[in-house]
């Protein structure tokens, strides 16, 4: 198939290479003319994926018209906060391709998910979200990975499922687009929190608490926004949360570690050198929690650390010294107790 990938970062490159190795005609778009030429010549994306040798037939180009021409599948692998601008700028060049979004985030201004933004700008295009516990570095080295293809149309979810499946990438289908998008976005919030915990020198107990209580917050907001509760128990919920909170491949966790060590968000982002999706998502989730009156204490404290310069240790104290409560407030009834 003819496939266009918008975005030449680590994830876009890894997926493009996988599809190219499967015999598809894949072209990747990036803004930097000279860098695109360099990748074509060396077959290495030294900035974002330096350890992977790319397939000879995989092409990189700064010419959006060339990349989009005759494409049947259009994969968006740019930062979530840039997708709306990219869609609006190039919508007249996009035909009836299936849109596959692999970015994880919620638009700060509109508080909409990527599927909602795509629906507004390209209402006639079919849409699939591709998300799960997956680091580009490992996929590019053909390490076993599982992921989810979600669409409201079963045929589209299963088509993309088949397109990406290999002996090292197992793909599951799911009809819960909103749930998959929200889970994939909000887990980055908790990953920053896990990193802060590491940066402060706390141990496994603290991280386990953050992850477990974090998935509860993610689920509450996700269900409020229309997602299905079971989705948050699966690969794009707990699965993605585990990998993002525990791996040094995770830029969100790295950002948190630097914040825990006393650096500002700006300093941390500059040192990492790539987009930290969770920083924007914290702001969006905080606003959504206020809008829908969802209690999210971890998200609230992280918002205050990132955007109100609160000392992380004070936030930990606030979380630990809240009023005592049941673990599952909605499940506890008086007749449960002896």
Tens digits of per-residue pLDDT, 32-71?
999 999 999 999 999 999 999 999 999 999 999 999 999 9
pTM of the predicted protein model: 0.94
Q: Are strands 145-150 and 127-131 parallel, antiparallel or unpaired?
A: antiparallel
The CATH number given to whatever domain includes residue 50 is 3.40.50.720
Determine the pLDDT at residue 201. Answer: 96
pLDDT above 80 for 197: yes
In this structure, the answer to whether residues 171 and 187 fall within a common structural domain is no
The CATH number given to whatever domain includes residue 196 is 1.10.1040.10
pLDDT above 90 for 240: yes
Give me the percent of the chain exceeding a pLDDT of 90: 92
Beta strands in the chain (DSSP E): 2-6, 25-29, 59-61, 73-76, 98-101, 127-131, 145-150, 169-174
Say if 7 falls within a structural domain: yes
Q: Give tens-digit pLDDT for 143-187.
A: 999 999 999 999 999 999 999 999 999 999 999 999 999 999 999
In this structure, the answer to whether residues 132 and 225 fall within a common structural domain is no
Q: Give tens-digit pLDDT for 241-262.
A: 999 999 989 999 999 999 999 9
Find the mean pLDDT for residues 210-233: 96
User: What residues act catalytically?
Assistant: 187
Determine the pLDDT at residue 248. Answer: 87
Say if 336 falls within a structural domain: no
Range of the domain at 327: 178-331
Say if 261 falls within a structural domain: yes
Of 118, 140, 175, the position where a domain reaches its end is: 175
Give me the percent of the chain exceeding a pLDDT of 70: 99
In this structure, the answer to whether residues 186 and 171 fall within a common structural domain is no
Q: Give tens-digit pLDDT for 75-108.
A: 999 999 999 999 999 999 999 999 999 999 999 9
Query: For all residues of the chain together, what is the average pLDDT?
Result: 95
Task: Please count the structural domains in the chain.
Answer: 2
In this structure, the answer to whether residues 184 and 167 fall within a common structural domain is no
Nearest to 167 by CA among 147, 145, 149, 148: 145
Of 175, 192, 216, the position where a domain reaches its end is: 175
Find the mean pLDDT for residues 277-302: 96
Q: pLDDT band for 217, please (50, 70, 90 cuts).
A: very high
Q: How far apart are the first and last CA of the chain?
A: 64
Distance CA 149, CA 36 (A): 29
Distance CA 310, CA 312 (A): 6
Say if 149 falls within a structural domain: yes
In this structure, the answer to whether residues 120 and 184 fall within a common structural domain is no
Of 135, 151, 175, the position where a domain reaches its end is: 175
In this structure, the answer to whether residues 86 and 199 fall within a common structural domain is no
DSSP states along 281-298? HHHHHHHHHHHHT---HH
Q: Give tens-digit pLDDT for 13-36.
A: 999 999 999 999 999 999 999 999
In this structure, the answer to whether residues 137 and 259 fall within a common structural domain is no
Say if 337 falls within a structural domain: no
Question: Which tokens sit at 222?
Answer: 């996700």
Identify the burial level of 291 via C-beta atoms within 10 angstroms of its C-beta, where 0-12 means exposed, 13-18 middle and 19 or more buried.
Answer: exposed
Nearest to 68 by CA among 89, 38, 86, 90: 90
């Amino acid at each position: 198939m003819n496939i266009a990938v918008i975005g030449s970062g680590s994830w876009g490159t890894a997926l493009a290479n996988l599809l190219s190795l499967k015999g598809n005609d894949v072209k990747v778009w990036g803004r930097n003319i000279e860098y695109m030429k360099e990748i074509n010549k060396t077959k290495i994306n030294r900035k974002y994926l330096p350890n992977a040798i790319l397939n000879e037939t995989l092409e990189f180009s700064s010419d959006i018209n060339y990349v989009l021409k005759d494409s049947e599948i259009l994969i968006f692998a740019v930062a979530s906060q840039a997708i709306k601008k990219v869609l609006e700028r190039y919508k007249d060049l996009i035909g009836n391709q299936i849109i596959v979004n692999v970015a994880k985030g919620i638009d700060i201004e509109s508080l909409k998910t990527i599927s909602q933004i795509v629906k507004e700008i390209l209402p006639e295009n079919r849409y699939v979200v591709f998300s799960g516990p997956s680091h580009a570095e490992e996929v590019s080295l053909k390490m076993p990975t599982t992921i989810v293809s979600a669409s409201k149309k079963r045929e589209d979810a299963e088509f993309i499922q088949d397109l990406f499946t290999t002996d090292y990438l197992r793909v599951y289908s799911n009809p819960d687009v909103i749930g998959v998008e929200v889970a994939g976005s909000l887990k980055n919030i908790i990953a920053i929190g896990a990193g802060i915990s590491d940066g402060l020198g706390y141990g496994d107990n603290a991280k386990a608490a953050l992850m477990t209580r974090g998935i509860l917050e993610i689920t509450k907001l996700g269900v409020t926004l229309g997602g299905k509760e079971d989705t948050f128990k699966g690969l794009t919920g707990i699965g993605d949360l585990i990998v993002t909170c525990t791996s040094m491949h995770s830029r969100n966790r790295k950002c948190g570690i630097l914040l825990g060590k006393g650096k500002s968000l700006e300093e941390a982002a500059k040192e990492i050198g790539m987009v930290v999706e969770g920083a924007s998502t914290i702001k969006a989730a905080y606003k959504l929690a206020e809008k829908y009156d969802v209690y999210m204490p971890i998200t609230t404290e992280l918002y205050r650390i990132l955007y109100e310069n609160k000392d992380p240790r004070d936030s930990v104290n606030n979380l630990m010294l809240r009023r005592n409560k049941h673990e599952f407030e909605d499940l506890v009834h008086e007749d449960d107790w002896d």
